[in-house]
A = this chain, B = another copy of it.
């Protein structure tokens, strides 16, 4: 028996307004005046002077704005890496991702691909990365994915949607500033928050669970309930609690795994480009069989916040389309094993998956 030697984010700042400490954090990490910091920033902030004016640019540092409208892709990572290599005099001092899960995952992947040969798709899987990534910092502006603590960066490649899971993936530094969560669209807030909630349900009901992961999952779940089921928190309290829920929810996966909702939503995402948060919600809504209590509570929260999920997104799909989604989904073996145990293949058949997808 061998247990994972889990890499934790070695530095974290938590506090409202802590984004203003970025310069102080980055300065000692600058390798030379020719080795810039590259800020990957969600392009919704392009017009937001309040955030962008506080990004501490010096020497050849630059901001690359990236749209988070679509899920991050392996060729997108390759293209950003190529641009960075062509436009910098030396290997960058660091990559700073500012945004939601998409931007954080891109920052992690880019920092890995700057020191590892080949293409991002070559590293989709478990422990395929050979060289340490360059210094990378994660600054979430929306909470729930756990991307700020996880050892994966989930990318859609030509053949699969799968994470680059490695000890070099986690951020070297995270800044948790709840001020940055202001102004998030309500639907997006709910979908991303539910990503955390669904992590917890999948982790806590999984066969991989141990006392380490359970303790993180329990607190994350309890924080999710405070945020999404109670109406007695101030906006700041709710933001900070959701930020911590995302953090602990991500840690809960350390010795555990996600489960049925994630495995199925990867299929939707690969075929239809469905974003991760909403995709998880669409799937989870139909998983009473696997997570009866979790789905019941999810429906309560959805109701309470007046969220209407898209219906019939699989209505016009062909058999070939369903097969594609099913292939992508069934390929995520650790997720199924965590959810259903070693004999998962006897429980979840292709026809069962198809029937579930047809409901969505």
B-binding residues in A (CB < 8 A): 1-15, 17-18, 21, 24-25, 173, 176, 178, 210-212, 215-216, 218-219, 222-223, 237, 240-241, 243-245, 247-248, 254-255
**26 A-B contacts, Cβ less than 8 Å apart?**
A3-B14, A3-B15, A3-B18, A5-B11, A5-B21, A6-B11, A7-B10, A8-B8, A8-B9, A8-B12, A10-B10, A14-B210, A14-B212, A14-B254, A15-B210, A176-B212, A178-B211, A211-B237, A211-B240, A211-B241, A212-B240, A215-B244, A215-B245, A215-B247, A215-B248, A216-B219
Residue of chain B at shortest CB distance from A214: B244
Given known A219-B215, A241-B211, contact A13–B4 (CB-CB < 8 A)? yes
**Ranked 3 nearest A-B pairs via Cβ:** A3-B15, A211-B240, A219-B219
CB distance from A57 to the nearest CB of B (A): 21
Known: A8-B10, A211-B237. 10 other contacts (CB 8 A): A3-B15, A5-B12, A5-B25, A7-B11, A8-B8, A8-B11, A14-B210, A14-B255, A210-B240, A212-B240
User: Which residues of B are found within 8 Å of A1, using beta-carbon distances?
Assistant: 15, 17
Q: Contact check: which of B8, B13, B248, B254 meets A5 at CB < 8 Å?
A: B13
Report yes or no: B223 in contact with A215, Cβ–Cβ below 8 A. yes
CB distance from A49 to the nearest CB of B (A): 21
Give the complex CA separation of A180 and B132 in angstroms: 33
Given known A14-B255, A210-B15, A222-B218, contact A21–B2 (CB-CB < 8 A)? yes
How many identical chains are in the complex? 2
Residue of chain B at shortest CB distance from A245: B215
Report yes or no: A211 in contact with B243, Cβ–Cβ below 8 A. yes
Give the complex CA separation of A243 and B25 in angstroms: 32
User: Which residues of B are found within 8 Å of A15, using beta-carbon distances?
Assistant: 1, 3, 210, 255
User: Which residues of B are found within 8 Å of A210, using beta-carbon distances?
Assistant: 14-15, 240
User: Which residues of B are found within 8 Å of A17, using beta-carbon distances?
Assistant: 1
Give the complex CA separation of A254 and B23 in angstroms: 22
User: Which residues of B are found within 8 Å of A240, using beta-carbon distances?
Assistant: 210-212
Give the complex CA separation of A212 and B18 in angstroms: 13
CB distance from A21 to the nearest CB of B (A): 6
Report yes or no: A6 in contact with B14, Cβ–Cβ below 8 A. yes
User: Which residues of B are found within 8 Å of A12, using beta-carbon distances?
Assistant: 5-6, 8
Q: Which of A14, A25, A222 has the most CB of B within 10 A?
A: A14
Give the complex CA separation of A8 and B5 in angstroms: 15
Give the complex CA separation of A211 and B237 in angstroms: 8
User: Which residues of B are found within 8 Å of A2, using beta-carbon distances?
Assistant: 21, 24
CB distance from A1 to the nearest CB of B (A): 6
Give the complex CA separation of A7 and B12 in angstroms: 7
Give the complex CA separation of A204 and B150 in angstroms: 27
Give the complex CA separation of A210 and B244 in angstroms: 11
Give the complex CA separation of A308 and B6 in angstroms: 40
Give the complex CA separation of A41 and B73 in angstroms: 49
User: Which residues of B are found within 8 Å of A8, using beta-carbon distances?
Assistant: 8-12
Give the complex CA separation of A21 and B178 in angstroms: 39
Give the complex CA separation of A241 and B321 in angstroms: 46
Q: Which of A9, A14, A211, A237 has the most CB of B within 10 A?
A: A211
User: Which residues of B are found within 8 Å of A243, using beta-carbon distances?
Assistant: 211
CB distance from A324 to the nearest CB of B (A): 37
Report yes or no: B3 in contact with A13, Cβ–Cβ below 8 A. yes
